[in-house]
C-alpha cells in the first residue's frame, strides 16, 4: 500500500560545494542530496517544512554511480539524485552560517 514519506526521508543532506556556494550568492539557490524516488513536489514541500522558507522552484538531476576497480574486484558507487531549490525573493537559508 502507499506509504507517506517523511520530510527527513526525502532530504538526505545539503551539498556544500563551490558551485553550490556560487549559486547561493548569485541566484538564491540551494543544493541538496535527495532520495532517488522523490519528485519535485515532495522535495519542495520537504524544504519548506524543514527549513521554514518559501521555495519557488525545484530542478532535479540524476547521477549514475561510477564503476570502480580495486585489483581484480569490480564494484560500483551508488546512484544518487541532486536537487537545486530556488528560494523566493527575500527568503534566506543559512545552513552552516556561523560555524
pLDDT band of 4, cuts 50, 70, 90: confident
- The DSSP code sequence of 4-44 is PPPHHHHEEEE---HHHHHHHHHH-EEEEEE-TT--HHHHH
The whole-number pLDDT of residue 12 equals 95
SS3 62: strand
Strands 55-63 and 29-34: unpaired
Q: What is the pLDDT of residue 97?
A: 60
Domains in the chain, CATH or no CATH each = 7-87 (3.30.70.330)
Contact 46, 55 (CB under 8 A): no
Predicted pLDDT of residue 1: 58
How high is the pLDDT of residue 99?
Answer: 45
Q: pTM value?
A: 0.86
Q: pLDDT tens digit string along 14-71?
A: 999 999 999 999 999 999 999 999 999 999 999 999 999 999 999 999 999 999 999 9
Amino acid at each position: 500500500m502507499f506509504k507517506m514519506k517523511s520530510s527527513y526521508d526525502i532530504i538526505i543532506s545539503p551539498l556544500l560545494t563551490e558551485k553550490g556556494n556560487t549559486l547561493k550568492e548569485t541566484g538564491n539557490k540551494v543544493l541538496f542530496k535527495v532520495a532517488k524516488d522523490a519528485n519535485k513536489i515532495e522535495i519542495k514541500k520537504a524544504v519548506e517544512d524543514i527549513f521554514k522558507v518559501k521555495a519557488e522552484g525545484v530542478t532535479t538531476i540524476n547521477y549514475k554511480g561510477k564503476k570502480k576497480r580495486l585489483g581484480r574486484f569490480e564494484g560500483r558507487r551508488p546512484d544518487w539524485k541532486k536537487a537545486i531549490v530556488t528560494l523566493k525573493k527575500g527568503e534566506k537559508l543559512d545552513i552552516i552560517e556561523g560555524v
